Structures are given as structure tokens and as C-alpha cells.
Amino acid sequence: MFQVYFLKSKRNKKVYVGVTAKEPDARLQEHNFGSNMWSKNNRPFILIYFESYSCKEDAARREKFYKGGFGKMVKNSIIDTLEKHKHWGRSSVG
């Protein structure tokens, strides 16, 4: 399985969108450890959302969608809805 996930920085509220073949919680730990410079500068994170796909290409397309244009609006709408209901969601899509 492949996951598209949203992490939210507790430090500055920035949202990171990523794709992984790992479990989202494992990837969260890597980001919180500071797996790259962006993560080091924005940690700690919380996992706020993920979608699961059986196909790597579908997951990569979805990640790209969330990072640009209309997809950013969809991402922000998902986050706003989850925050409004005080519920960090999990989804299984693909």
C-alpha cells in the first residue's frame, strides 16, 4: 500500500503533503526526528490525514494534485473540516 499524508507543524501550523510506502505513523516519526532540513525547521508534526492507494502511480498523482492549484483548495477544505469538527481523519481511498 502507498499513503498520501498530511502532517501539520505544531510550531507554525504549516502543512506538509507527502507520499510513502511506509505506515503513516512511521513516516511521522521520521519527520519528527528531522529526516531533512525542512522537517528539522518545522517539527514537531502531527499526522492529520492520510489516504491509502494500492498503486504507487495513483498515490504520486494524488500527492501532486494536493500540492498545486485546485488541489490546494481541496487540501485546505479537508483540513478546515477536520479542524472544525476537532477530528483528525483517516481515509482509505484507492
pLDDT in tens, 23-41: 999 999 999 999 889 999 9
Residues in the chain: 94
CA 74 to chain centroid, in Å, comes to 13
pLDDT in tens, 45-85: 999 999 999 999 999 999 999 999 999 999 999 999 998 88
Q: Is residue 89 part of a domain?
A: no
Q: Is residue 16 part of a domain?
A: yes
Q: Is residue 93 part of a domain?
A: no
Q: Into how many domains does the chain fold? A: 1
Q: Is residue 33 part of a domain?
A: yes
Domain housing 22: 2-84
CATH number for position 37:
3.40.1440
Q: Which of 2-6, 17-21, 88-92 has the lowest mean pLDDT?
A: 88-92
Contact 83, 27 (CB under 8 A): no
Residue ranges in 6-46 assigned as alpha helix (H) = 24-33, 37-42
Q: Is residue 25 part of a domain?
A: yes
Cell numbers that stand for 90 in this block: 483517516
The total of other beta-carbon atoms located within 10 Å of residue 29's CB is 14
- Distance from first CA to last CA of the chain, Å, rounded? 9
Q: Looking at residues 3-30, what average pLDDT do you find?
A: 96
Residue 94: pLDDT over 50: no
